Structure 1
Amino acid sequence: MRRIILSTESGADLPSDLAAKYDIQVVPMHIIMDGKDYLDGHLPVQDIYDYYDRTKKIPSTTATNAHEYTKFFANIRETFPDSIIVHIGYTSKASSSFQNAVIAAEDFEDIFLIDALNVTGGLGAIVLHAAQVLEKEPGIEPEHLIEQIESTVPKSRLSFIPGSLEFLKAGGRVSNMASLIGTLLKIKPCIELKDGKLVSTKKYRGKMSGATEKLFHDYLKEFNVDRHQLYFIYSIGLDERIKERMDELAEENGFEHVRWIQAGGMISTHSGPGGFGVAGLEK
């Protein structure tokens, strides 16, 4: 029986212990500071914010290129001979990474590519769901696994509040960014994935502590999320008291398992310090 190996990008922000548990292979995206290229996952996130504090410049990010994907897929095959690779990719609507994976996959057999149309915890929720299906059904046919993953993609719901509008604007990924002008009004936008695009859907005012509670309330009101598993995402700098309060709210709303995920370099570069998000799968 040929083994199925799951892969994704660093922009999924998979916790390292879960990636190791399920043998999920992660290819790094890139962070650029002063013309120097750093691999996401190999650069401490705090270095990004220290760089900004020092220079007042916000780093940029770039996708994994086709050559890197070719090497990445080849390494998987070397480590797991005769494997079938199922790659669950970062949304193609906000990065060229998925298209580069498509180009690289032309040189291989038995590689299946799925555009998750999501990022960070929203992407991670899909990848981890696929890993759990594989764990329960190790003999599942690849086609059946792919069907399950593809049916999960539209059920993955991600909402987040960036820690800094300046970082969000510099990232250039939010399609309706012009509507967010008003930083002097202390606006905290809710960003969601709509058809794979990052879109500002709501605006909160006031302190981050109040905004995160409103976000979670609106999230649960809008989406019928499976209470078995919930993911909270944060970027460095989020107040610990907010984390404690969100854990309380998750328990009050019947969630059995909650996993906090720290945003990596790719996501933190677009969110800024102190960001918060929530992700889960609808029933």
Structure 2
Amino acid sequence: MSRIIITTESGADLPLEMAEKHAVQVVPMHVIMDGKDYLDGSLPVEDIYEYHERTKKIPSTTATNVHEYEQFFKEIKANYPGCVIIHIGYTSKASSSFQNAMIATEELNDIYLIDALNVTGGLAAIVMFAVDLLEKEPMIEPKYLVEKIEFIVPKSRLAFVPGSLEFLKAGGRVSNLAYLGGALLKIKPRIELIDGKLVSTKKYRGNMGSVSEKLMHDYLNQYDINKKYIYLLYSIGLDESIKVRMTNIAKEYGFENIKWMQAGAMISTHAGPGGFGIAGLEK
């Protein structure tokens, strides 16, 4: 029976300890700042915030390219001869990364590619579903594991609110008028992945503490999330008291495992400091 290797991208924000514990291989995406190309994971998030503070600009981000994918998959094949790779990728609707992976694997064998149609915690939730299933059924046939992962993809739900509209404005994601109105009224948009695309589905008013709590209750009342795992997401700058409160709410709803995940450089470039999100799999 061939060994199955699960792979994903740095845009999943899978904590290093979780990736290492479960032998998930992660390929880095890119952050470009001050004309220099950084691999996601090599650039401290604080440097991004300092850059924005200094220039009022945000770095740009780019996908893992075809050559990098080729090298990534070939290295895994060399380290684990005869293995089967199941790659769970960043949504193809927001990045060319998945398309690049498809091109890179045209002449490689025993590699399955799954478009997660999700990012950060929503992508991580799918990856960890695959990991759990593989650990429970280590002899599972790759095609059956792929079928089960593909079935769960549309059940992954991610919602988050940015800590500030500054980064959305700097990245051209909101108009100046919308930014000024939102800033004055302390309005924060709720962002979700709908069919793989980032969509603003609701607006909240208030400070980050009250907004985070509203998001948490709305999300958990809207979606029937599997109680085994819930993933709580934050970008550096979120107040610790908010994290404590969100953890307690998750416990009140009966979640067995509450996993906090920090947004890396790739995601933080778009979300900015002090953001909060939640992800899980519907039953």
Judge same fold: TM > 0.5, yes or no: yes
Give the 3-state SS of the residue equivalent to 2:232 in structure 1.
strand
Partner of 1:7: 7
Instruction: Quote the residue 2:42 is aligned against.
Output: 42
| Greater CA drift, 158-167 or 87-96 | 158-167
Letter in 2 for 1:266: M
Alignment partners' CA distance in 1, 2:186 and 2:251: 29
Point out where structure 1 has 5 or more consecutive residues left out of the alignment.
none
Q: What secondary structure, in the 3-state scheme, does the structure 1 residue paired with 2:54 have?
A: helix
In structure 2, the residue matched to 1:53 is 53
**Displacement of 1:80:** 1.2
Residue of structure 2 equivalent to 1:107: 107
After TM superposition, list the pairs within 5 Å mapping 1:12-23 onto structure 2: 12-23=12-23
Residue 102 of structure 1 aligns to a residue whose secondary structure is helix
For 1:64, what is the secondary structure of its paired residue? coil
Correspondence 1:112-191 to 2 at 5 A: 112-171=112-171, 177=174, 180-181=178-179, 182-183=181-182, 184-191=184-191
Q: Kindly provide the CA deviation profile for residues 172-208 of structure 1, in whole angstroms up to 9, marking residues without a partner as x.
A: 5x6xx55954232211110000000000001001100
Which runs of structure 2 are paired with 1:188-199 in the superposition (5 Å)? 188-199=188-199
Task: Find the counterpart in structure 2 of residue 27 from structure 1.
Answer: 27
After superposition, give the CA deviation of every residue in 1:126-173 in whole Å (9 maximum; x if it has no partner).
00110110001010000100011001101100000012222124445x
Q: What is the alpha-carbon distance in structure 2 between the residues aligned to residue 21 and residue 129 of structure 1?
A: 14
In the other structure, the counterpart of 2:216 is 216
Distance 1:118 1:224 in 2: 18
> Which residue of structure 2 aligns with residue 255 of structure 1?
255
Q: Secondary structure at the match of 1:108?
A: coil
Tell me the SS of whatever aligns to 2:48.
helix
Unaligned runs of 5+ in 2: none
CA distance in 1, matches of 2:248, 2:61: 35
What TM-score does the superposition give when structure 2 sets the normalisation length? Answer: 0.96
Higher mean C-alpha displacement, 63-72 vs 163-172:
163-172
Given that 2:57 and 2:170 are in contact with CA atoms closer than 8 Å, whether structure 1 keeps it comes out as no
Percent pairwise identity: 68
Q: How far did residue 213 of structure 1 move?
A: 0.5
Counterpart CA distance in 1 for 2:120 and 2:178 is 22
Q: Superposition pairs for residues 69-80 of structure 1, below 5 Å? A: 69-80=69-80
Aligned pairs, number: 280
Considering only aligned residues, what root-mean-square deviation do their CA atoms show, in Å?
1.3
Return the offset for 1:56: 2.2
Question: Which deviates further from its counterpart, 234-243 or 57-66?
Answer: 57-66
Look up the SS of the partner of 2:7 in the other structure.
strand
**Inter-CA distance 224–180: structure 2 relative to 1 (3 Å threshold):** farther
Give, as a single letter, the amino acid of the residue that structure 2 aligns with 1:51: Y
